[in-house]
Amino acid sequence: MSVTAAEPEWVGKSGIELDSWLSQRRHEDADERAARRGFINDANTESYGPKALAGLIPLPKTPEELKRDIARFSRHTDTAQRRHAFAEHLDLLADLDDGGGAQPEIADPGPNPNPEVPFSDGDMMD
């Protein structure tokens, strides 16, 4: 299988070469792994303060706030119990149909107030 390589060092390489490179990385030095982990932890610790000041770190919720949020989100949750509580779904124009497919007569809109302007059904939507 061929794939597009973003790094020039991988252009023309095979899956076997990738597996070899990955297996070499597994055997890297424990000190190097600990140093990398320490750097990542330090960077996360340093970035926590600015994130908290910017309001990007969520604060722990009190039990009252949690109950309020659950009630607020539950209003929009679709459950079988809620579906059962409501009547069967009707089509949008089902109440206009008499059962035989005929639609009720619509009253005449009346005379055109300005005879110079042509009257059309499209004008009724404005």
Residue 69 to residue 61: CA distance in whole angstroms: 10
Number of domains, the chain: 1
Q: Which tokens sit at 44? A: 């996360």
Task: Say yes or no to pLDDT of 119 above 60.
Answer: no
pLDDT single digits (tens) 72-116 = 888 878 777 777 777 677 677 666 666 665 666 666 666 666 666
- Cβ proximity of 47 and 54 under 8 Å: no
Establish if 42 belongs to a structural domain: yes
Q: Which tokens sit at 26? A: 């597994």
Establish if 32 belongs to a structural domain: yes
pLDDT at residue 109 in the model: 62
pLDDT at residue 98 in the model: 61
pTM beyond cutoff 0.85: no
Residue 54 to residue 48: CA distance in whole angstroms: 10
Question: What's the pLDDT band for 43 if we cut at 50, 70, 90?
Answer: very high
Query: What contacts 102, CB < 8 A, 6 or more positions away?
Result: none
Establish if 35 belongs to a structural domain: yes
Mean pLDDT confidence for 56-70: 90
Establish if 66 belongs to a structural domain: yes
